[in-house]
Amino acid sequence: MSWSFFTLPAPVSAGTPAITYSVGGQTVATNSVAYAYDHDFRGSLWSVNNTTSTTAYTHDGFGRITGSAQTTPANATSSFNFTYCYSLTDALTSITYPSGRQVNYALGAGDLVTAVQYVASASGGCAAATGGTNYASSIGYTAAGGLSSMTLGNSNTLAQSYT
């Protein structure tokens, strides 16, 4: 008995055509988008390009996106850089925006987000920044994992029920 295996290669590129549609009697066209894969980690998204911008992604050894850099034709000499950080269990814990603002996600049981906090100017990297303002806190969940409650940054409380 002999066995043979056929392995499909990861996609190198794919794209979507421009789409034209009508809104309020006006014709609107979207840009076509090209996706490139598998440049630094097998099968992962490497870049997205259209006529408006190009976004390139970097990955860690687990294939998670750890950074992205967006470049626009009008500002081709510099890019807008984002940094993404994760917990040991692969849950997103923070995003740092080009402005330096860092948004942190506090995780509870089952890696469910229990608070979302921003820090106006983070030091960068994946160290948790502190001393910011809450977008949402005391986030609670139902047994099935649906959102049940949270306190918003303006101190209003949201309560959600499911029937």
With beta carbons less than 8 A apart as the criterion, state whether 18 and 29 touch.
Answer: yes
Task: Please tell me the distance from the alpha carbon of residue 13 to that of residue 36, in angstroms, as a whole number.
Answer: 4
Tell me the mean pLDDT in the region 72-100: 88
For 11-38, give one letter per residue: b (16+ CB within 10 A) or e.
eeeeeeeeeeeeeeeeeeeeeeeeebbe
Please name every residue paired with 141 in a beta bridge, in sequence order, or none if there are none.
147
Q: Which of 139, 126, 134 is nearest to 153 (CA)?
A: 134
Chain segment 17-58, per-residue pLDDT in tens:
667 778 888 887 777 888 888 755 667 888 898 888 899 998
Tokens of 5: 């295996």
**Dihedral angle computed from the Cα positions of residues 130, 131, 135 and 138, in that order, rounded to the nearest 10 degrees:** 80
The predicted pLDDT at position 15 comes to 62
Is pLDDT of 126 > 90?
Answer: no
1: confidence class by pLDDT, cuts 50, 70, 90:
very low
Q: Which of 39, 78, 34 is nearest to 57 (CA)?
A: 39
Tokens of 133: 């303002």
Whether the model pTM is above 0.85:
no
What is the residue whose two structure tokens read 């034709």? 73
